[in-house]
Amino acid sequence: MLFMLMYLYSMMMITFMLIIINMIIMKKKFLNYEKSSPYECGFDPISNNRLPFSLQFYLVSLIFLIFDIEISLLLPLMKCFKSMYFMNMTNILMLMTVILLLGLMIELKEGALKWFY
C-alpha cells in the first residue's frame, strides 16, 4: 500500500513539475514574440490563406462514399447465397445493381461528374 502511495505521489509531482516548466516556457515565448518572429521588409511570411479546393473533388468523394456503402451492403449477401433460392438471390442482386446504376445515372444527369464547364 505504501508503495502505491509513493508511486501516486511521485507521478503527481512529475506532472506538476512538467506543468510549471511549460508555464515558464510559454511565458518567455509570449514576452519575446517580436524577437522570435522573422522580419522581412515589413512583410509577414506566415500567412493564413487557404489553398483553393475544387468542389468537384468533394462531390466525387461523396459519390464514392455513397457507392462504397451500397457495395458494402451487397457483399454480405455473398455469404447467404447457399441458403437462398436462386430466384430470390438474382432478384436481390438485380435490385441492388439497378439502384447503383440509377444513382450513377442521376449523378451523370446532374453533372456532378462533369469536369469541364
Q: Does residue 28 fall inside a structural domain?
A: yes
How confident is residue 43, by pLDDT bands cut at 50, 70 and 90? Answer: low
Q: Does residue 81 fall inside a structural domain?
A: yes
- Whether 115 and 62 have beta carbons less than 8 Å apart is answered as no
How confident is residue 29, by pLDDT bands cut at 50, 70 and 90? Answer: low
Pair 104, 63 in one domain: yes
Straight-line distance from the first to the last Cα atom of the chain, in angstroms, rounded to the nearest whole number:
74
Task: Give Cβ neighbours of residue 55 (< 8 Å, ≥ 6 apart).
Answer: none
Q: Which pTM does this prediction carry?
A: 0.45
Look at the chain and report how many structural domains it folds into: 2
Q: How many CA atoms lie within 13 A of 67 on its CB side?
A: 16
Q: Check residue 12 and give its pLDDT.
A: 95
Mean pLDDT on 52-70: 82
- Whether 34 and 71 have beta carbons less than 8 Å apart is answered as no
Q: Does residue 10 fall inside a structural domain?
A: yes
For all residues of the chain together, what is the average pLDDT?
Answer: 79
Mean pLDDT on 20-26: 85
Tell me the residue range of the domain where 66 lies.
55-110
Instruction: Please tell me which residue, 108 or 50, carries the higher pLDDT value.
Output: 108
42 conformational bin, left if phi > 0, alpha if psi -120 to 50, beta if neither:
left
Q: Return the amino acid letter for 68.
A: D
